[in-house]
Chain A
């Protein structure tokens, strides 16, 4: 039997795979797209490690910045472990061949990102995530790691609370298959795509792993904490990296006024921009003063994206921007061994998980760090996982086969789910977004429940078995609805403002009640919740 099944082939999945392989485990990495297509490729700014190559820095300063940004909702011991491990993670990537930029003293170059007390983010131009991901991929090929593409996870296989593997839709062939393993690692990414058309995330960031854990009876937590990136292109929601502000870019409104310190944490800057927009003003990023030569050297990708999607040249024109959903801090609840609460032999890592590192707001540069450091940790821990005797009960496979058959044969197509998905994305942006209000949250929840109840009228127009991307889109939409409900529920419960979660009626942090993780799980078909206090 396979030792480890890794679901998701982005930076977290591939790091897990390399670390597990190094320890002699047999494993498979399974993803719904190609490994190099994952969200990791989109990370631009950098990866934090307190090397102090450019300005003085320390592990303690990195810890302090991370804890401050988390607003009380982190596991400080685990943050300490991560910030210490950052140094060896950079060395590990360097050894694999990641082409980090260098200082004039030949050290790894580091840049300033928001909320950091030093130039801490190691970078490779504005292609940091791309170059890390591709180097990990090359390393996996070298190690002969089996990577199975175009398989979308449908459900975890669970017997007596022990995860035995997962079922998948083979997108190419259209069959439902199961892959069993002694231990399963979920590295399936975040759920930012619930804010469809109002997110920097890729189309595939639909939180499939989070939804699978919910359906399997596991716990998810802090789902209300969604980071909005201050600077996405206005008309396309394409990300303009924080490094644009780190390198000296200004934010100005349509009156030409600067209105916020650009290097404050993302939640503060995003709210300041949202406030300007609510007053009817437009907001722009101004990087003209950096000059064309320097722009092309520091952020060639941004220059290209501005020209293509906004039709402007940032060397001579202002860049129209708006804040959009960027990163989901919440996710599958895990302990500091990355084991999923409520499920055995199953781990979660990366954006799909809530490892209590980012808390209420993630610092720029900590997400790449998390997927590498904790990715390696997940691989190591899963190798040491106690093996439980497994059975060959195929009831999950049978259920999932029947469900897919039903979609292909029975569901009508009286309502176009794509239209509903687009409308819902906008509602999430406006009502479950940067500034929240209980009335609007409740209304959106009711609308979402109506949509869920009418799923039987939707279904797919394309009934082909093979290469049916319409089917994949619909399965993702179902996951988005399940996750969206928890995001709204969690937002309603948290009557305070903390980090990325802001309610006008409750503008302050209320530690007495809410210095706590909001935990959700399904019991006998009903969504349950509990606030679990942070012990510090």
Chain B
């Protein structure tokens, strides 16, 4: 079979000799035998380290968790600086975790139940592969958007009974944060861990409302009465 790989804006064809293999194995085969210079990132081979996300036919996937098909077009993640071929720099995306204060800000000792752990069990499955970041159309218009994985992480900590200062991160996600999301669900569609950031962002909006925040887009809307309500 044959696949196309986008290298510095040029599509290059590669022949794959195996019938049934993961994309990552195919990439290794090319690098080890055909072209040493093919550059991509990977580590664990088992879908847990979050390193090998790429786009195949326009959809974000983990190369180690995707079977390769004849005619596939492979390209690097979007909205990341492409270092070389499929290898991208994740530093800018990682900065969103700092901006959104995605951590336990002030820890308190409380009893936690089984069902409370279950509330954020999925959210804490995140492997930081950046698939959701690449799939999000908001970055097209706002490169400073905090984005899905950071907001899911904020939700994880704000929903944790151990967090004694929810307001700190709720404050941090008002600008370029929860209200910039269009709730289109592209992030949810590509998450290899089955996380639903769209729902987490909706939940965060609810929490933000409790702290007196409201949707700035809604306030700015003009219904023909001179703006807002």
Assuming the contacts A138-B153, A141-B98, asked whether A101 and B114 have C-beta atoms less than 8 A apart, the reply is yes
In the bound complex, CA of A402 to CA of B103 (Å): 43
Residue contact A106 to B112, C-beta cutoff 8 Å:
yes
Which of chain A's residues 395-442 have a Cβ closer than 8 Å to chain B?
A: 413, 416, 418-419, 422
Residue contact A470 to B43, C-beta cutoff 8 Å:
no
Question: Is B11 an interface residue when CB atoms closer than 8 A count as contact?
Answer: no
Question: Is A71 an interface residue when CB atoms closer than 8 A count as contact?
Answer: no
Residue contact B107 to A97, C-beta cutoff 8 Å:
yes
Which of chain A's residues 302-347 have a Cβ closer than 8 Å to chain B?
A: 304-305, 308-309
Residue contact A470 to B128, C-beta cutoff 8 Å:
no
Which of chain B's residues 70-84 have a Cβ closer than 8 Å to chain A?
A: 83-84
Assuming the contacts A33-B51, A101-B117, A130-B127, asked whether A238 and B89 have C-beta atoms less than 8 A apart, the reply is no
Residue contact A102 to B112, C-beta cutoff 8 Å:
yes
Choose among B41, B47, B162 the residue that contacts A304 (Cβ–Cβ < 8 A): B47
Assuming the contacts A38-B49, A100-B117, A464-B37, asked whether A202 and B43 have C-beta atoms less than 8 A apart, the reply is yes
Choose among B45, B91, B120, B162 the residue that contacts A203 (Cβ–Cβ < 8 A): B45
In the bound complex, CA of A82 to CA of B125 (Å): 28
Assuming the contacts A97-B157, A238-B46, asked whether A130 and B125 have C-beta atoms less than 8 A apart, the reply is yes
Report the interface size class on chain A: 35 or more
Q: Mark B156-174, 1 if CB is under 8 A from A, else 0.
A: 1100101100000000000
Choose among B51, B65, B125, B128 the residue that contacts A127 (Cβ–Cβ < 8 A): B125
Residue contact A95 to B43, C-beta cutoff 8 Å:
no
Which of chain B's residues 28-54 have a Cβ closer than 8 Å to chain A?
A: 31-33, 35-37, 39-51
Nearest Cβ on chain B to A10's Cβ, whole angstroms: 11
Assuming the contacts A203-B42, A238-B45, A462-B36, asked whether A131 and B124 have C-beta atoms less than 8 A apart, the reply is yes
In the bound complex, CA of A38 to CA of B49 (Å): 7
Question: Is B97 an interface residue when CB atoms closer than 8 A count as contact?
Answer: yes
Residues of chain A within 8 A (CB-CB) of B43 are 33, 37, 202-204
Question: Is B126 an interface residue when CB atoms closer than 8 A count as contact?
Answer: yes
In the bound complex, CA of A142 to CA of B100 (Å): 10
Q: Mark A134-166, 1 if CB is under 8 A from B, else 0.
A: 100011011000000100000000000000000
Residue contact B113 to A106, C-beta cutoff 8 Å:
yes
Residue contact A467 to B104, C-beta cutoff 8 Å:
no
Q: In the complex, which of the residues A97, A103, A413 has the most CB atoms of chain B within 10 Å of its own CB atom?
A: A97
Known A34-B94, A95-B109, A149-B91; 9 more pairs at CB < 8 Å: A34-B128, A37-B44, A97-B163, A106-B114, A134-B126, A172-B83, A413-B36, A422-B32, A469-B40
Sample of 15 A–B contacts (CB below 8 Å): A33-B41, A34-B128, A36-B127, A42-B48, A99-B160, A106-B113, A130-B125, A202-B43, A202-B49, A238-B45, A238-B46, A460-B36, A466-B84, A469-B41, A469-B87
A interface residues, Cβ below 8 angstroms from B: 33-34, 36-39, 41-42, 94-97, 99-104, 106, 109, 124-125, 127, 130-131, 134, 138-139, 141-142, 149, 172, 202-204, 236, 238-239, 301, 304-305, 308-309, 413, 416, 418-419, 422, 460-462, 464, 466-470
